[in-house]
Amino acid sequence: MFSSFGQIAGRPQLLVLSLMIFAQGSAFGATIPYLSVTAIGTLGMSDQAFSLLVLVSSVSAVVISVSLGILSDLLGDRRHMLMAMSAMGVIGYGAIYLFPSVPVFLGATSLIVPFFYATSSLLFASARLETGDIEPADAASINGTLRAVVSAAWVITPAGLGLALGASGNMLGAWGLAALFCLFILICATFILKAPPSRPARDTSAPGFLAALKELAARDVLIGMVSIAAITSTLRLSGTVWPLILTLQLGGKTADVGLIAGMTALVEIPFMLIWAHLLKRHGIVGMIVTAALGYGGYMAALSFASAPWHIYALALPGAAFAAALLALPLSYFQDLFPGRPGLGTAFLPINSFLGNGINAAAFAVGSHYLGYSGSAWLGLVLAVLGVIGLWSVERRVARASSES
């Protein structure tokens, strides 16, 4: 299971990229959990303005990440893109920390910081290129390990910030820390990442920008994209539903929510490594299907919880299956376009955007008609629908391969 760590440590460029990925995850983990608290509670933004901000920044992140992912395949030099995007993070997060006000927060969060979000796709695409000379199963395993690095950042950074700044009630320092993480990425990209031997020529074998966009709209690609989004939306729906079941229906306390969330995040990390190791022996689609059905079963079990300890008991199997759904989609998307990691990795922000939309719709319908416990069953429905969609794509691909 630890062979992926050895391969990362044995490749200096991959090791640097893993540190940059940790820093990028830490910048997100430092700010996203405290976004609403800071915008509304500290700066006095209205609820409506904050909702609009979340929508605009989400759309900006998707458009920018997809565009830069395609361009990175065409131009071939991701190092300079990383330098530019991390500099935008320094500017955006730094402006919020140094000049805290609603206009600065709005402008930086909706227009500047989304450029930094694109570093996630660029970093994972760069890591995929560094593993181009090893077996695909080993490359996918390294991908899963790097995804665990992001989760580790999300466990460590928010917890540390909560302890350091929580008593003050003002979390603006989180944006200052995020700017420092961006600065670390900028320094690594400028001085440590390997520079191209010469100005890279445009990759003439890669489709043009518009042609790549058309590939994203192909029937099987769209079905696969929506299917994965339906499956991963169960994670978001679960994160919305179980705290409400625990506190409003079972008499649990808000402290229980924090304990279970922290315990789940810690358990996910080793399970991500286990799933990544299993990729060397099993097909990725079969593993995603297994994890999706397992997590759907976990959500169905949530609806039967009748005491707070039931939620605690379900957290372990839930985290085990959630780890796969967090770690494996990246490799699935990259495998759709071998040789073009920028385009494949650009699916991640699309998946996140679609997953958030599906979760919002499912929770709105479920909470209105079924209650919180009943809404958990929609997680099983979404998982099954996603599995059906994935299998339909796999059957068509297998049939086309056999006919050719």
Residue-averaged pLDDT of the chain: 87
Lowest mean pLDDT: which of 1-5, 91-95, 287-291, 372-376? Answer: 1-5
pLDDT in tens, 194-236: 876 554 444 555 566 777 777 777 888 899 999 999 999 999 8
pLDDT, residue 97, reads 96
Report residue 33's pLDDT band, with 50, 70 and 90 as the boundaries.
confident
Q: Same domain, yes or no, for 189 and 228?
A: no
Is residue 402, in this structure, part of any structural domain at all? no
Is residue 248, in this structure, part of any structural domain at all? yes
Number of domains in the chain: 2
pLDDT, residue 47, reads 81
For the beta carbon of residue 6, count every other beta carbon within 10 angstroms.
9
Q: Same domain, yes or no, for 165 and 30?
A: yes
Q: Which residue has the higher pLDDT, 313 or 65?
A: 313
Q: Same domain, yes or no, for 220 and 74?
A: no
Is residue 401, in this structure, part of any structural domain at all? no
Q: Same domain, yes or no, for 256 and 163?
A: no
Round to whole Å and give the CA distance between 332 and 389. 14
Which of 193, 217, 243 is where one domain is finished?
A: 193
Round to whole Å and give the CA distance between 369 and 81. 47
Round to whole Å and give the CA distance between 4 and 20. 17
Is residue 157, in this structure, part of any structural domain at all? yes
Q: Same domain, yes or no, for 178 and 153?
A: yes
CB 339 within 8 A of CB 114: no
Is residue 241, in this structure, part of any structural domain at all? yes
Report residue 342's pLDDT band, with 50, 70 and 90 as the boundaries.
confident
pLDDT higher than threshold 90 for residue 321: yes
pLDDT higher than threshold 90 for residue 281: no
pLDDT, residue 199, reads 47
Lowest mean pLDDT: which of 55-69, 70-84, 85-99, 330-344? Answer: 330-344
Q: Same domain, yes or no, for 160 and 236?
A: no
Q: Which residue has the higher pLDDT, 310 or 259?
A: 310
Q: Same domain, yes or no, for 289 and 225?
A: yes
Is residue 144, in this structure, part of any structural domain at all? yes
pTM for this structure? 0.83
* CATH code for position 276: 1.20.1250.20
Which of 155, 170, 193 is where one domain is finished?
A: 193
pLDDT in tens, 233-273: 999 899 889 888 998 899 888 778 878 887 888 899 999 98
Q: Same domain, yes or no, for 224 and 159?
A: no
pLDDT, residue 75, reads 76
pLDDT, residue 247, reads 87
Q: Same domain, yes or no, for 225 and 183?
A: no
CB 306 within 8 A of CB 315: no
Q: Same domain, yes or no, for 112 and 167?
A: yes
CB 87 within 8 A of CB 113: no
When pLDDT is averaged across residues 21-45 and rounded to a whole number, the result is 89
pLDDT higher than threshold 80 for residue 96: yes
pLDDT, residue 360, reads 85
Is residue 198, in this structure, part of any structural domain at all? no
CA distances from 216 to 52, 141, 229 (A): 27, 25, 14
Give the domain range for residue 347: 208-394
pLDDT, residue 21, reads 96
Q: Same domain, yes or no, for 165 and 271?
A: no
Q: Same domain, yes or no, for 13 and 39?
A: yes
CB 114 within 8 A of CB 61: yes
DSSP codes joined into one string, 53-103: HHHHHHHHHHHHHHHHHHHHHHH--HHHHHHHHHHHHHHHHHHHHHS-SHH
Is residue 223, in this structure, part of any structural domain at all? yes
Which of 160, 193, 226 is where one domain is finished?
A: 193
